[in-house]
Chain A
Amino acid sequence: MTRITCKDVNVSYRSGPVLKSVSFDATKGQLIGVIGPNGAGKSTLIRALAGLQSYSGDIQWDGRDVHRMAATERAKTIAYMPQARTVHWALPCLDVVLLGRLPHHSRFAGPSDKDRETALAAMSRMDVQGFAARPFDKLSGGEQARVLIARMLAQDTACFLADEPVNGLDPAHQISLMQTFQKFAQAGRLVFVSLHDLTLAGRWCDRLLLIEHGALKADTSPGELIGTGLIQEVYGIETMDIMLAGQPTIVPAAVRSNASTLVPNQSDSF
């Protein structure tokens, strides 16, 4: 079983607070979207859930403090994909994806045949199986993103934390990625994705965490969130809310004229 409990989580950098008293809990079987404007604290929240961030408060996975979990065990429970798509050497893509298997094989043994199988399966899920022998640095941005997502999937954990994984993907791969996450959630895993694309968030996520200036503004299903008007308020936008394939869908339409997030001295001359 997988259950995460966040209680009163606060994170501060020298420049000021980044997360303010965030509390929620989640159990397996959910695809949770983390949304909010630039700088709201989405990445910090995801890093904190992954145990990569110092915080005050409580983050527990199945009742255990995330910083107290043994490193290998945590690596077998939680996979993390940062927003930055960094691979330092010109590694072939299969080797990049195989790094996701690192927690699963013993210290001095290389990846086993089963590890290789899992890695290749993750690659074909992300439609990058053809790049196995290609150096990572020779791929396009979107292809690199898909290889790194495959790397995360290959870790084969109960929980996935992906920071803006759809950035740079073409629409087909965006949708198929969200479908993959949905399938994983339905199969009993717990998936957190931070997203800027509200349409994707509304269409595919079971639940949305809306963050504004580090505070959790809303924690509910997309359908209910649309009704509250919070999205419009937090982002400072007007939206068209439509039903698509039975799912509530948020389409950003215009910037609110009185929005506080706008630069005040901008003259509307275009």
Chain B
Amino acid sequence: MTSPSSLYPALLGTLSFLLVGLFVLSLGIGQVWIDPTLLWFSIGEPSSAEAIILNEIRLPRAVLAVMIGAILGLSGAVLQGFLRNPLAEPGLLGISATASLGAVLAIYSGLTAFHAYALPLSALVGAFLAVFLLQALVGRTGDILTIILAGVALSSLSAALTSLILNMSTNPFAALEIVFWMMGSLADRSLVHVFLAGPFILVGGALLLFTARALDALSLGADVAQSLGVSLQRTRTITILGTAIGVGAATAVAGAIGFVGLIVPHVLRPLVGQKPGRLLPASALGGAVFLLAADIFVRVIMPERDLKLGVVTAILGAPFFLWLLVSLRRRSS
């Protein structure tokens, strides 16, 4: 019998295979094609110009695409399961927006000139601020609607403050830098970024994977989930904290990259037999594959111009989002 559950290992296998293939391709593709196998012989001690490009430019970029795509896909899947809403995504909680605000503040204040870590750290502070505000707003007995509304309010406030900063900026170069940063990109990142974001993304991802069982139970509603031994409060804390740590770190090094967390879980859900817990590993792999592919796409389509990754994911994502809304409405009518 070919039920979705028997297809699950095959799905994970296919996604892993795609992941490895695209990763290798991502190393090779750029202004010039470089044989990716060169990395194997030169890792740690590059001797040629090509080896240096591979080690210091292409490798961090590919690794970041995998990590960031994975955490965005994973947290999207967790949030959709937790909020029991297929339209949820990491941006919904306001964490991307507050992290962006933190980063923009760092650029605006000129802190970025003093230290390379100033921007990502300031973005992380923004993400954690969002967690504390969310927990405070939602309170101990917070229901789903309160969480969503609090997240929306937090997003709007952060976006308004970001605009205010742009508005106040007397330095056009700083303003331009802010605008470009907000578009989201993986270009010109180094291993420093990988080591900075990596631990946070790993910890955030591990926390989020921990919710699988609770999310399965929540498909029967909050009451039944509780009667099955699930602690709603703990699940909520892990969800918010894991998203803030992981997505906060991702936003800190790559800017806001939208729609990955929305599209990937939604596309994969029918392929994993609709089970929210099973969707988590698949969405992490799928997110990594999607972002690697999108990042290769921006390099292939316009190699001379620095086309921003976040722009591409949004251009692909927004029409999909609209289609999703329309088809959901059609199904419910």
Contact = CB atoms under 8 A, between A and B. Distances in A.
Contact of B84 (A52, A88, A90, A96): A88
B221 A71 contact: no
A92 B213 CA distance: 17
A99 B227 contact: no
A196 interface: no
Contacts, number: 79
Q: Secondary structure of the A side of the interface?
A: mixed
A95 interface: yes
Contact of B228 (A82, A89, A103, A107): A103
A100 B216 CA distance: 11
Contacts of B274: 89-92, 95, 135
B231 A84 contact: no
Interface of A: 47, 50-52, 71-72, 74-76, 78-82, 84, 86-92, 95-96, 99-100, 102-103, 107, 133, 135, 148, 151, 155
Interface residues of B, number: 25
Contacts of A103: 228-229
Given A80-B224, A133-B3, 5 more contacts: A82-B224, A86-B224, A87-B220, A88-B219, A89-B219
Most buried by B among A71, A88, A99, A102: A88
Contact of A80 (B4, B217, B227): B227
B218 interface: yes
Nearest to B274: A89
A82 B222 CA distance: 11
A71 B273 contact: no
B269 A89 contact: yes
Contacts of A51: 226-227
Interface in B213-255: 213, 216-221, 223-224, 226-231
A30 B226 CA distance: 25
A95 B275 contact: yes
Top 10 closest A-B pairs, CB basis?
A75-B229, A80-B227, A89-B274, A71-B229, A86-B221, A88-B84, A72-B229, A88-B219, A103-B229, A102-B228
30 contacts: A52-B223, A52-B226, A71-B231, A72-B229, A76-B229, A80-B227, A81-B224, A82-B224, A84-B221, A86-B221, A86-B224, A88-B218, A88-B220, A89-B274, A90-B274, A91-B273, A92-B3, A92-B4, A92-B273, A95-B5, A95-B273, A99-B228, A100-B228, A102-B213, A102-B216, A102-B217, A103-B228, A133-B1, A151-B220, A155-B228
Nearest to A72: B229
Contacts of B229: 71-72, 74-76, 102-103
A60 to B, nearest CB: 17
A123 B167 CA distance: 63
Given A89-B274, A92-B274, A102-B213, A78 B220 contact: no
B215 to A, nearest CB: 10
A179 B216 CA distance: 31
A89 B276 contact: yes
A74 B274 CA distance: 27
B227 A79 contact: yes
